């Protein structure tokens, strides 16, 4: 290949690389700038959200606590808060930072987007609840105020997220659950669980793991400095006070807390055994609940265990003449009453 041709090809390659780097809107430089702006906006909104939550609890934060919560350096957070102060979204009160009315409006819109998205994930998808928070953390920054309004309308303007936290309205009003910690509840008084604190996440995961959900009825049997023993929808739980304090409850009338027939988990049924469905646990969310009901898994329905897969991952059940395969996490949430077959001898 001749030298002029090589020079031409080299020039075209350099030009093409230049286009990829700097072409307005789509070039690498433009994408990097957009990414930097997005990161900056996320940090600003996360800082406003954190200050808002701390103020609601009566503890306005310092630059150190905001930096620690957002996992950035103190110098970086000082820059972020300085820009927010320039935009009149926060004001400094000694070492503390407080929101201005304009800053509170921005923070509440982010909180509203987060809690509505969690409500959407809980009601409209089959995602496990351990994934809701992280996904909502990402989506809260991507939704415009109009997007948030449309999402609220689609969901029927819910007042609380799946954990029981209030969802601010477009006019920044909230309906608080009115509960108090389970550790402060009187014993032998019928209660309803109205809120689970989802921060810190490790504590929330422990509550989820033992099957505690908002909406359950509860009754404290014993409350000491060492443990809290209580019934939730008929199942007994024993928690350390530090965990129990993350559960909020309200007293209810005794007739609202009529004990439900609890039954046992369908997963305990062995092949060849039959049972009658008592109910589907509250832990089973709307999409999964609808699927089970569509399969005929309803209170009073007879269900028989047919066979277990070699790996134990699926079990075949006969429901209303049809054979369906269910996963262990599904059958753990179906409560049944065994049917004792009478001998024909």
> What's the whole-number mean pLDDT along residues 239-252?
94
Res 47 pLDDT > 80: yes
Note whether 28-99 and 103-176 share their fold. yes
The position carrying tokens 């948030």 is 148
Composition of the chain by helix, strand, coil, percent to 5: 45, 20, 35
Domain ranges of the chain: 28-99, 103-176, 180-257, 264-339
pTM of the model: 0.71
Percent of the chain scoring above 70 in pLDDT: 85
Res 193 pLDDT > 70: yes
Residues 106-127 have pLDDT tens digits of 999 999 999 999 999 988 887 8
Beta strand ranges found along the chain (DSSP E): 90-93, 96-99, 180-181, 191-196, 217-223, 228-232, 235-239, 247-251, 264-265, 274-280, 302-308, 315-319, 322-326, 334-339
Residue 240's pLDDT is what?
A: 94
- The region of weakest confidence among 2-11, 91-100, 183-192 is 2-11
Which is it for the CA torsion 215, 296, 265, 129, positive or negative? negative
- Exposed/middle/buried for residue 9 (C-beta within 10 Å: 0-12, 13-18, 19+): exposed
Res 258 pLDDT > 60: no
Residue 341's pLDDT is what?
A: 65
Residue 216's pLDDT is what?
A: 87
Number of H helices, E strands in the chain: 11, 14
CATH architecture of 264-339: Roll (2.30)
pLDDT band at 30 (very low <50, low <70, confident <90, very high): very low
Residues 226-245 have pLDDT tens digits of 999 999 877 789 999 999 99
HSE-up of residue 302 (Cα within 13 Å, Cβ side): 10
pLDDT band at 1 (very low <50, low <70, confident <90, very high): low
Q: Which residue has the higher pLDDT, 186 or 23?
A: 186
Residue 2's pLDDT is what?
A: 58
**Is the CATH number 1.10.10.10 carried by domain 103-176?**
yes
Residue 36's pLDDT is what?
A: 40
Distances (CA, A) of 124 to 131, 163, 275, 281: 14, 16, 30, 18
Q: Of the CATH numbers 1.20.1580.10, 3.40.190.10, 1.10.3720.10, 1.10.10.10, which one belongs to the domain with range 28-99?
A: 1.10.10.10
Residue 37's pLDDT is what?
A: 42
> What's the whole-number mean pLDDT along residues 311-329?
85
Residue 262's pLDDT is what?
A: 66
**Is the CATH number 2.30.30.90 carried by domain 180-257?**
yes
């Amino acid at each position: 290949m001749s030298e002029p041709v090589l020079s031409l090809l080299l020039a075209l390659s350099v030009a093409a690389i230049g286009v990829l780097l700097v072409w307005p809107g789509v070039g690498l430089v433009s994408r990097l700038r957009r990414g930097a702006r997005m990161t900056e906006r996320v940090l600003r909104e996360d800082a406003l959200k954190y200050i808002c939550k701390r103020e609601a609890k009566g503890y306005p934060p310092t630059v150190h606590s905001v930096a620690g919560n957002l996992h950035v350096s103190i110098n970086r957070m000082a820059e972020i808060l300085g820009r927010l102060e320039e935009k009149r979204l926060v004001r400094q009160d000694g070492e503390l930072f407080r929101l201005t009315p304009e800053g509170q409006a921005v923070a509440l819109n982010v909180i509203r987007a987060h809690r509505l998205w969690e409500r959407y994930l809980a009601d409209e998808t089959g995602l496990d609840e351990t994934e809701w928070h992280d996904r909502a953390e990402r989506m809260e920054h991507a939704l415009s105020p109009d997007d948030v309004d449309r999402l609220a309308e689609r969901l029927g303007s819910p007042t609380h997220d799946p954990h029981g936290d209030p969802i601010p309205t477009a006019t920044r009003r909230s309906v608080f659950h009115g509960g108090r910690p389970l550790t402060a509840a009187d014993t032998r008084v019928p209660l309803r669980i109205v809120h689970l604190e989802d921060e810190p996440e490790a504590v929330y995961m422990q509550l989820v793991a033992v099957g505690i959900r908002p909406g359950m009825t509860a009754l404290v049997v014993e409350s000491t400095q060492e443990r809290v023993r209580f019934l939730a929808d008929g199942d007994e739980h024993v928690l350390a006070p530090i965990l129990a304090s993350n559960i909020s409850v309200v007293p209810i009338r005794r007739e609202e807390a009529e004990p439900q027939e609890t039954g046992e988990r369908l997963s305990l049924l062995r092949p060849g055994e039959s049972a009658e469905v008592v109910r589907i646990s509250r832990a089973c969310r709307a999409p999964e609940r609808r699927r089970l009901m569509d399969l005929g898994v309803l209170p009073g329905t007879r269900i028989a265990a047919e066979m277990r897969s070699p790996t134990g991952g699926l079990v075949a059940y006969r429901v209303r003449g049809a054979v369906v395969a269910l996963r262990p996490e599904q059958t753990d949430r179906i409560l049944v009453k065994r049917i004792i077959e009478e001998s024909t001898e």
